Structure 1
Amino acid sequence: MSALKLKVCGMRDPDNIQGLIDIKPDFIGFIFYPKSPRYVGEMDEDFVMRIPLSIHKVGVFVNESLDQIVSQADKYGLEYIQLHGDEDLDFAKNLKAKGLKVIKVFRVMDTIPFVAKQYQGVADYLLFDSATINYGGSGRHFDWNILRNYNLNIPFLLSGGVQLEDVEKIKAMEIDQLVGIDVNSRFEIEPAMKDLKKLRELKAVL
Protein backbone atom coordinates (compact mmCIF):
# COMPACT_ATOMS: atom_id res chain seq x y z
CA MET A 1 0.00 0.00 0.00
CA SER A 2 1.07 3.60 -0.47
CA ALA A 3 2.44 5.69 2.38
CA LEU A 4 -0.06 6.58 5.06
CA LYS A 5 -1.10 10.22 5.35
CA LEU A 6 -0.29 11.96 8.63
CA LYS A 7 -2.74 14.27 10.39
CA VAL A 8 -1.44 15.98 13.51
CA CYS A 9 -4.24 17.49 15.56
CA GLY A 10 -4.41 19.87 18.50
CA MET A 11 -1.81 22.43 17.41
CA ARG A 12 -1.66 25.94 18.90
CA ASP A 13 1.86 27.23 19.65
CA PRO A 14 3.43 29.09 16.67
CA ASP A 15 6.97 27.79 17.26
CA ASN A 16 5.67 24.25 17.66
CA ILE A 17 3.61 24.62 14.49
CA GLN A 18 6.66 25.90 12.61
CA GLY A 19 8.60 22.83 13.72
CA LEU A 20 5.76 20.61 12.57
CA ILE A 21 5.68 22.31 9.17
CA ASP A 22 9.29 21.21 8.68
CA ILE A 23 8.18 17.59 9.21
CA LYS A 24 5.63 18.02 6.39
CA PRO A 25 2.50 16.31 7.69
CA ASP A 26 -0.42 16.05 5.29
CA PHE A 27 -2.87 17.77 7.67
CA ILE A 28 -2.61 20.13 10.63
CA GLY A 29 -5.64 20.18 12.91
CA PHE A 30 -6.76 23.18 14.96
CA ILE A 31 -9.40 22.58 17.64
CA PHE A 32 -12.11 25.22 17.85
CA TYR A 33 -13.94 23.60 20.76
CA PRO A 34 -13.69 25.84 23.85
CA LYS A 35 -13.93 22.93 26.30
CA SER A 36 -10.86 21.23 24.84
CA PRO A 37 -7.48 21.71 26.58
CA ARG A 38 -6.14 22.20 23.05
CA TYR A 39 -8.58 24.97 22.12
CA VAL A 40 -6.84 27.40 19.78
CA GLY A 41 -8.54 30.59 20.97
CA GLU A 42 -7.37 33.49 18.79
CA MET A 43 -4.48 32.66 16.47
CA ASP A 44 -2.22 34.93 14.43
CA GLU A 45 -4.11 35.01 11.14
CA ASP A 46 -1.09 35.97 9.04
CA PHE A 47 0.99 33.14 10.49
CA VAL A 48 -1.71 30.54 9.91
CA MET A 49 -2.30 31.78 6.37
CA ARG A 50 1.40 31.30 5.60
CA ILE A 51 1.30 27.58 6.31
CA PRO A 52 2.28 25.91 3.00
CA LEU A 53 -0.65 24.91 0.82
CA SER A 54 0.81 21.38 0.65
CA ILE A 55 -0.26 20.98 4.29
CA HIS A 56 -4.05 20.96 4.56
CA LYS A 57 -5.49 23.01 7.42
CA VAL A 58 -8.31 21.33 9.33
CA GLY A 59 -10.66 23.05 11.73
CA VAL A 60 -12.11 20.72 14.36
CA PHE A 61 -15.58 21.72 15.58
CA VAL A 62 -18.10 20.24 18.01
CA ASN A 63 -21.76 21.14 17.51
CA GLU A 64 -20.89 24.63 16.30
CA SER A 65 -23.15 26.79 14.13
CA LEU A 66 -22.68 26.80 10.38
CA ASP A 67 -22.07 30.56 10.34
CA GLN A 68 -19.37 30.34 12.99
CA ILE A 69 -17.59 27.52 11.19
CA VAL A 70 -17.64 29.39 7.88
CA SER A 71 -16.40 32.54 9.62
CA GLN A 72 -13.43 30.71 11.16
CA ALA A 73 -12.69 28.95 7.87
CA ASP A 74 -12.51 32.29 6.08
CA LYS A 75 -10.43 33.87 8.83
CA TYR A 76 -7.76 31.17 8.92
CA GLY A 77 -7.97 29.65 5.45
CA LEU A 78 -9.27 26.30 6.68
CA GLU A 79 -9.69 23.79 3.87
CA TYR A 80 -11.25 20.92 5.80
CA ILE A 81 -13.86 20.98 8.55
CA GLN A 82 -13.75 18.06 10.96
CA LEU A 83 -17.16 17.44 12.49
CA HIS A 84 -16.52 15.88 15.88
CA GLY A 85 -19.94 16.28 17.47
CA ASP A 86 -23.51 15.31 16.68
CA GLU A 87 -23.72 17.15 13.35
CA ASP A 88 -25.97 15.37 10.88
CA LEU A 89 -25.79 14.68 7.16
CA ASP A 90 -27.62 17.88 6.19
CA PHE A 91 -25.11 19.92 8.17
CA ALA A 92 -22.25 18.28 6.27
CA LYS A 93 -24.02 18.96 2.97
CA ASN A 94 -24.37 22.62 3.90
CA LEU A 95 -20.64 22.85 4.55
CA LYS A 96 -19.93 21.27 1.17
CA ALA A 97 -22.23 23.85 -0.43
CA LYS A 98 -19.99 26.54 1.09
CA GLY A 99 -16.98 25.07 -0.72
CA LEU A 100 -15.48 23.39 2.33
CA LYS A 101 -14.25 19.81 2.56
CA VAL A 102 -15.59 17.56 5.28
CA ILE A 103 -14.04 15.03 7.65
CA LYS A 104 -16.80 13.32 9.60
CA VAL A 105 -15.82 11.65 12.87
CA PHE A 106 -17.47 8.47 14.13
CA ARG A 107 -16.77 7.09 17.58
CA VAL A 108 -16.52 3.33 17.30
CA MET A 109 -17.49 0.76 19.92
CA ASP A 110 -17.97 -2.72 18.46
CA THR A 111 -18.98 -1.96 14.87
CA ILE A 112 -18.72 0.73 12.22
CA PRO A 113 -21.80 2.96 12.70
CA PHE A 114 -24.47 2.16 10.12
CA VAL A 115 -25.07 5.85 9.44
CA ALA A 116 -21.54 6.22 8.03
CA LYS A 117 -22.67 4.96 4.64
CA GLN A 118 -24.94 7.99 4.25
CA TYR A 119 -21.84 10.18 3.93
CA GLN A 120 -20.76 8.66 0.61
CA GLY A 121 -20.50 11.54 -1.84
CA VAL A 122 -20.53 14.08 1.00
CA ALA A 123 -17.57 13.43 3.32
CA ASP A 124 -14.10 13.66 1.83
CA TYR A 125 -12.82 11.48 4.66
CA LEU A 126 -14.29 9.66 7.61
CA LEU A 127 -12.32 9.48 10.83
CA PHE A 128 -12.80 6.57 13.22
CA ASP A 129 -11.98 7.21 16.85
CA SER A 130 -12.55 5.28 20.07
CA ALA A 131 -15.93 5.82 21.70
CA THR A 132 -15.87 8.13 24.73
CA ILE A 133 -18.47 9.73 26.98
CA ASN A 134 -17.22 13.22 26.15
CA TYR A 135 -16.28 14.77 22.81
CA GLY A 136 -12.63 14.50 21.87
CA GLY A 137 -10.03 11.79 21.74
CA SER A 138 -9.56 9.08 24.31
CA GLY A 139 -5.94 8.16 23.66
CA ARG A 140 -7.08 4.53 23.51
CA HIS A 141 -7.50 1.97 20.73
CA PHE A 142 -10.75 0.38 19.70
CA ASP A 143 -10.76 -3.08 18.11
CA TRP A 144 -9.23 -2.30 14.72
CA ASN A 145 -10.29 -5.69 13.36
CA ILE A 146 -13.74 -4.11 12.93
CA LEU A 147 -12.29 -2.13 10.05
CA ARG A 148 -11.62 -5.25 8.01
CA ASN A 149 -15.33 -5.23 7.11
CA TYR A 150 -15.22 -1.67 5.79
CA ASN A 151 -16.82 -1.53 2.33
CA LEU A 152 -17.66 2.13 1.74
CA ASN A 153 -16.31 4.34 -1.02
CA ILE A 154 -15.01 6.94 1.42
CA PRO A 155 -11.35 6.95 2.45
CA PHE A 156 -10.82 7.11 6.18
CA LEU A 157 -8.30 8.10 8.82
CA LEU A 158 -7.65 6.06 11.94
CA SER A 159 -7.46 7.74 15.32
CA GLY A 160 -7.61 6.66 18.93
CA GLY A 161 -4.26 6.37 20.68
CA VAL A 162 -2.20 5.58 17.56
CA GLN A 163 1.47 5.21 18.48
CA LEU A 164 4.71 4.72 16.57
CA GLU A 165 4.72 0.98 17.22
CA ASP A 166 1.21 0.66 15.75
CA VAL A 167 2.18 1.66 12.22
CA GLU A 168 3.41 -1.77 11.18
CA LYS A 169 0.17 -3.37 12.38
CA ILE A 170 -1.95 -0.74 10.63
CA LYS A 171 -0.15 -1.27 7.34
CA ALA A 172 -0.39 -5.05 7.70
CA MET A 173 -4.20 -4.83 7.72
CA GLU A 174 -3.98 -3.82 4.03
CA ILE A 175 -7.30 -1.97 3.98
CA ASP A 176 -7.37 0.08 0.79
CA GLN A 177 -9.58 2.83 2.17
CA LEU A 178 -7.46 3.28 5.31
CA VAL A 179 -5.35 6.11 3.94
CA GLY A 180 -3.91 7.79 7.01
CA ILE A 181 -3.62 8.22 10.75
CA ASP A 182 -4.62 11.03 13.08
CA VAL A 183 -2.41 11.61 16.12
CA ASN A 184 -2.64 13.94 19.06
CA SER A 185 -2.13 13.19 22.76
CA ARG A 186 0.28 10.29 22.33
CA PHE A 187 2.77 12.66 20.69
CA GLU A 188 2.56 15.51 23.19
CA ILE A 189 4.85 17.01 25.79
CA GLU A 190 1.79 18.78 27.22
CA PRO A 191 -1.64 19.63 25.78
CA ALA A 192 -1.24 21.43 22.43
CA MET A 193 2.57 21.08 22.51
CA LYS A 194 3.82 18.26 20.30
CA ASP A 195 7.00 16.21 20.68
CA LEU A 196 8.59 16.96 17.32
CA LYS A 197 11.25 14.27 17.70
CA LYS A 198 8.61 11.58 18.08
CA LEU A 199 6.67 12.99 15.13
CA ARG A 200 9.76 12.89 12.91
CA GLU A 201 10.21 9.24 13.84
CA LEU A 202 6.56 8.58 13.02
CA LYS A 203 6.71 10.35 9.66
CA ALA A 204 9.77 8.31 8.71
CA VAL A 205 7.92 4.99 9.02
CA LEU A 206 4.70 5.96 7.25
Structure 2
Amino acid sequence: MKVKFCGFTRIEDIKFALSINVDYIGIVLFEKSKRFVPLNRLEIITKTIKEGKYIGVFVNEEIDNVQEIYFKYNLTFTQLHGDENNEYVETLIKKGVNVIKAFRVKDTKILEEIKETPAKFILLDAFKEDEYGGTGRRINEEILNYLLNNIKNKKIFLSGGINKDNIG
Protein backbone atom coordinates (compact mmCIF):
# COMPACT_ATOMS: atom_id res chain seq x y z
CA MET A 1 0.00 0.00 0.00
CA LYS A 2 1.18 3.52 -0.83
CA VAL A 3 0.09 6.63 1.07
CA LYS A 4 -0.56 10.06 -0.43
CA PHE A 5 -1.34 13.10 1.67
CA CYS A 6 -2.78 16.04 -0.20
CA GLY A 7 -3.33 19.75 0.25
CA PHE A 8 0.11 20.74 1.51
CA THR A 9 1.02 24.41 1.49
CA ARG A 10 3.85 24.54 4.07
CA ILE A 11 7.35 23.11 3.81
CA GLU A 12 7.41 22.01 7.46
CA ASP A 13 4.26 19.91 6.92
CA ILE A 14 5.81 18.22 3.90
CA LYS A 15 8.98 17.46 5.87
CA PHE A 16 6.89 15.92 8.64
CA ALA A 17 4.87 13.82 6.17
CA LEU A 18 8.05 12.48 4.61
CA SER A 19 9.46 11.71 8.08
CA ILE A 20 6.50 9.37 8.70
CA ASN A 21 6.99 7.68 5.32
CA VAL A 22 4.21 9.24 3.28
CA ASP A 23 4.90 8.10 -0.28
CA TYR A 24 3.38 10.95 -2.27
CA ILE A 25 2.83 14.64 -1.56
CA GLY A 26 -0.20 16.21 -3.23
CA ILE A 27 0.08 19.87 -4.18
CA VAL A 28 -3.16 21.58 -5.25
CA LEU A 29 -2.67 23.75 -8.33
CA PHE A 30 -6.34 24.72 -8.69
CA GLU A 31 -6.77 28.43 -7.96
CA LYS A 32 -10.26 28.10 -6.50
CA SER A 33 -9.11 25.70 -3.78
CA LYS A 34 -8.43 26.93 -0.26
CA ARG A 35 -5.25 24.81 -0.45
CA PHE A 36 -4.03 26.36 -3.72
CA VAL A 37 -0.26 26.61 -4.13
CA PRO A 38 0.94 29.19 -6.69
CA LEU A 39 3.73 28.12 -9.06
CA ASN A 40 6.36 30.30 -7.39
CA ARG A 41 5.63 28.47 -4.12
CA LEU A 42 5.68 25.08 -5.90
CA GLU A 43 9.14 25.94 -7.18
CA ILE A 44 10.37 26.72 -3.66
CA ILE A 45 8.88 23.49 -2.32
CA THR A 46 10.34 21.24 -5.02
CA LYS A 47 13.78 22.87 -4.81
CA THR A 48 13.86 22.83 -1.00
CA ILE A 49 12.65 19.24 -0.55
CA LYS A 50 14.10 17.32 -3.47
CA GLU A 51 13.31 13.86 -2.06
CA GLY A 52 9.54 14.36 -2.28
CA LYS A 53 7.44 12.53 -4.85
CA TYR A 54 5.02 15.27 -5.83
CA ILE A 55 1.58 14.99 -7.36
CA GLY A 56 0.22 18.14 -8.96
CA VAL A 57 -3.56 18.31 -8.55
CA PHE A 58 -5.31 20.02 -11.46
CA VAL A 59 -8.95 20.83 -12.19
CA ASN A 60 -9.93 21.52 -15.81
CA GLU A 61 -6.54 23.08 -16.60
CA GLU A 62 -5.27 23.58 -20.16
CA ILE A 63 -3.38 20.49 -21.35
CA ASP A 64 -0.28 22.46 -22.31
CA ASN A 65 -0.11 24.03 -18.83
CA VAL A 66 -0.40 20.63 -17.14
CA GLN A 67 2.35 19.19 -19.33
CA GLU A 68 4.64 22.19 -18.79
CA ILE A 69 4.21 22.17 -14.99
CA TYR A 70 4.64 18.39 -14.81
CA PHE A 71 8.02 18.47 -16.52
CA LYS A 72 9.28 21.83 -15.21
CA TYR A 73 8.75 20.88 -11.56
CA ASN A 74 9.62 17.19 -12.00
CA LEU A 75 6.27 15.94 -10.70
CA THR A 76 5.78 12.20 -10.21
CA PHE A 77 2.12 12.36 -11.28
CA THR A 78 -0.57 14.76 -12.32
CA GLN A 79 -3.92 14.20 -10.66
CA LEU A 80 -6.82 15.29 -12.84
CA HIS A 81 -9.66 16.08 -10.47
CA GLY A 82 -12.04 17.88 -12.81
CA ASP A 83 -14.18 17.13 -15.84
CA GLU A 84 -11.30 16.06 -18.08
CA ASN A 85 -12.45 13.58 -20.73
CA ASN A 86 -10.68 10.47 -22.03
CA GLU A 87 -9.20 12.33 -25.01
CA TYR A 88 -7.62 14.84 -22.62
CA VAL A 89 -6.19 12.02 -20.47
CA GLU A 90 -4.90 10.14 -23.52
CA THR A 91 -3.21 13.28 -24.87
CA LEU A 92 -1.29 13.78 -21.64
CA ILE A 93 -0.27 10.13 -21.48
CA LYS A 94 1.04 10.30 -25.05
CA LYS A 95 3.11 13.35 -24.04
CA GLY A 96 4.80 11.25 -21.33
CA VAL A 97 2.83 12.56 -18.35
CA ASN A 98 1.94 10.11 -15.56
CA VAL A 99 -1.77 10.62 -14.92
CA ILE A 100 -4.04 9.81 -12.00
CA LYS A 101 -7.66 10.38 -13.03
CA ALA A 102 -9.93 11.21 -10.11
CA PHE A 103 -13.53 10.04 -10.00
CA ARG A 104 -16.12 11.58 -7.71
CA VAL A 105 -18.09 8.54 -6.56
CA LYS A 106 -21.82 8.96 -6.06
CA ASP A 107 -22.98 5.47 -7.02
CA THR A 108 -21.88 2.32 -8.85
CA LYS A 109 -22.70 3.79 -12.27
CA ILE A 110 -19.27 5.44 -12.21
CA LEU A 111 -17.73 2.00 -12.93
CA GLU A 112 -18.25 2.34 -16.69
CA GLU A 113 -16.39 5.67 -16.76
CA ILE A 114 -13.57 4.15 -14.73
CA LYS A 115 -13.29 1.18 -17.11
CA GLU A 116 -13.12 3.52 -20.12
CA THR A 117 -10.42 5.88 -18.87
CA PRO A 118 -7.02 5.40 -20.48
CA ALA A 119 -5.40 6.29 -17.13
CA LYS A 120 -3.71 3.35 -15.41
CA PHE A 121 -3.99 5.10 -12.06
CA ILE A 122 -7.31 6.28 -10.65
CA LEU A 123 -8.40 8.04 -7.50
CA LEU A 124 -11.78 7.41 -5.92
CA ASP A 125 -13.20 10.33 -3.95
CA ALA A 126 -16.60 10.92 -2.38
CA PHE A 127 -19.01 12.97 -4.47
CA LYS A 128 -20.12 16.35 -3.19
CA GLU A 129 -22.11 18.72 -5.38
CA ASP A 130 -20.04 21.62 -6.76
CA GLU A 131 -16.79 20.45 -5.13
CA TYR A 132 -13.91 18.77 -6.91
CA GLY A 133 -12.34 17.15 -3.88
CA GLY A 134 -10.95 17.76 -0.45
CA THR A 135 -14.36 17.26 1.13
CA GLY A 136 -13.19 14.87 3.85
CA ARG A 137 -16.20 12.67 3.11
CA ARG A 138 -15.96 8.90 2.87
CA ILE A 139 -17.35 6.88 0.00
CA ASN A 140 -20.31 4.70 0.96
CA GLU A 141 -18.78 1.38 2.04
CA GLU A 142 -21.06 -0.84 -0.10
CA ILE A 143 -20.40 1.25 -3.21
CA LEU A 144 -16.67 1.29 -2.51
CA ASN A 145 -16.51 -2.49 -2.05
CA TYR A 146 -18.46 -3.01 -5.28
CA LEU A 147 -16.04 -0.78 -7.19
CA LEU A 148 -12.93 -2.33 -5.65
CA ASN A 149 -14.19 -5.80 -6.61
CA ASN A 150 -14.99 -4.77 -10.18
CA ILE A 151 -12.18 -2.43 -11.21
CA LYS A 152 -9.56 -4.34 -13.18
CA ASN A 153 -6.18 -3.30 -14.58
CA LYS A 154 -6.03 -0.02 -12.63
CA LYS A 155 -3.97 1.10 -9.65
CA ILE A 156 -6.32 2.71 -7.14
CA PHE A 157 -5.86 5.63 -4.77
CA LEU A 158 -8.59 6.17 -2.16
CA SER A 159 -9.43 9.62 -0.89
CA GLY A 160 -11.75 11.28 1.56
CA GLY A 161 -12.30 10.68 5.24
CA ILE A 162 -9.37 8.33 5.63
CA ASN A 163 -7.99 8.10 9.16
CA LYS A 164 -6.18 5.73 11.52
CA ASP A 165 -9.44 3.94 12.39
CA ASN A 166 -10.45 2.98 8.85
CA ILE A 167 -7.21 2.35 6.99
CA GLY A 168 -5.39 -0.94 6.91
* TM-score category (smaller protein): 0.7 to 0.9
Please name the residue that 1:64 is paired with: 61
Identity of aligned residues (%): 36
What is the number of equivalent residue pairs in this alignment? 161
| 1:161 and 2:161 correspond | yes
Distance 2:120 2:41 in 1: 26
Distance 1:46 1:74 in 2: 15
Q: Which has the higher contact order (CA 8 A, sep 6+)?
A: 1
Unaligned runs of 5+ in 1: 172-206
Whether contact under 8 Å (1:130, 1:137) holds in the other structure is no
Mapping of residues 124-203 of structure 1, within 5 Å = 124-133=120-129, 134-149=131-146, 150-151=149-150, 152-167=152-167, 171=168
Whether contact under 8 Å (2:120, 2:153) holds in the other structure is no
Kindly tell me: are residues 105 and 35 of structure 1, through their superposed partners in 2, closer, same or farther at Cα, counting changes over 3 Å?
same
| 1:30 and 2:31 correspond | no
Aligned AA for 1:75? K
Deviations 1:141-170, CA, capped at 9 Å, x for gaps: 121222333322112111121111111xxx
| 1:97 and 2:94 correspond | yes
Mapping of residues 98-117 of structure 1, within 5 Å = 98-111=95-108, 113=110, 114-117=112-115
- 2:13 aligned to 10, 16, 37, which one? 16
For residue 25 of structure 2, give the secondary structure of its aligned residue in structure 1: strand
Whether contact under 8 Å (2:24, 2:53) holds in the other structure is yes
Whether contact under 8 Å (2:30, 2:36) holds in the other structure is yes
* Post-superposition offset of 1:46: 5.4
Distance 1:93 1:135 in 2: 21
Kindly tell me: are residues 78 and 144 of structure 1, through their superposed partners in 2, closer, same or farther at Cα, counting changes over 3 Å?
same
| 1:51 and 2:46 correspond | no
For residue 55 of structure 2, give the secondary structure of its aligned residue in structure 1: strand
- 1:123 aligned to 119, 124, 134, which one? 119
Kindly tell me: are residues 46 and 131 of structure 1, through their superposed partners in 2, closer, same or farther at Cα, counting changes over 3 Å?
closer
Please name the residue that 1:191 is paired with: none
TM-score normalised by the chain length of structure 2: 0.88
Deviations 1:3-30, CA, capped at 9 Å, x for gaps: x211000111112212222222111100
Kindly tell me: are residues 143 and 47 of structure 1, through their superposed partners in 2, closer, same or farther at Cα, counting changes over 3 Å?
closer
TM-score normalised by the chain length of structure 1: 0.72
Distance 2:123 2:35 in 1: 19
- 1:78 aligned to 68, 75, 87, which one? 75
Aligned AA for 2:71? D
* Post-superposition offset of 1:110: 2.1
Whether contact under 8 Å (1:142, 1:160) holds in the other structure is yes
The alignment's C-alpha RMSD in Å is 1.7
For residue 81 of structure 1, give the secondary structure of its aligned residue in structure 2: strand
